[in-house]
Amino acid sequence: MKLIIQHSSMQPIYEQILGQIKDSIIHGELMEGTMLPSVRTLAKELRVSALTVKKSYDALEQEGFIITVHGKGSYVSSANQAQLLEEKRREVEAELETAIRKGKSCGMNEQELTELFHMILEEL
């Protein structure tokens, strides 16, 4: 598992870890049953505190993305497909919102944005 931590980022390190692992699960890079590195191993690899990694793992477990078996480790949970689908839909919604804001900032009106959306949709 390859994670990249940006120490200069305004986003907290635990959120960077959480987000990257969650994205890997959502995009199928980490499959159900895959064992994650131990908290200490990942902390050493990333050169961050074990508490930071633990906080990320706890949040992932709370959201249902991983399960932790005491003494055995943390594993990608049997993914709730509805939950993963909802995450993907939120991503699409956020990207569409960004595109609409960009279009409006350069003077496009609702009709132009709608026409552009339909043109792109037809091309795909």
DSSP output for 6-75: -TTSSS-HHHHHHHHHHHHHHTTSS-TTPBPPPHHHHHHHHTS-HHHHHHHHHHHHHTTSEEEETTTEEE
> pLDDT digits over 30-45, tens only?
888 999 999 999 999 9
Decide: residue 39, CB within 10 A, 0-12 exposed, 13-18 middle, 19+ buried: buried
Residue type at 113 in one-letter notation: L
Quick check: 90 pLDDT over 80?
A: yes
Could you tell me the two tokens for 77? 């949970």
Q: pLDDT tens digit string along 11-26?
A: 999 999 999 999 898 8
Check whether 88 has a pLDDT greater than 90.
no
Secondary structure (3-state) at 109: coil
pTM of the model: 0.68
pLDDT bracket for residue 81 (50, 70, 90): low
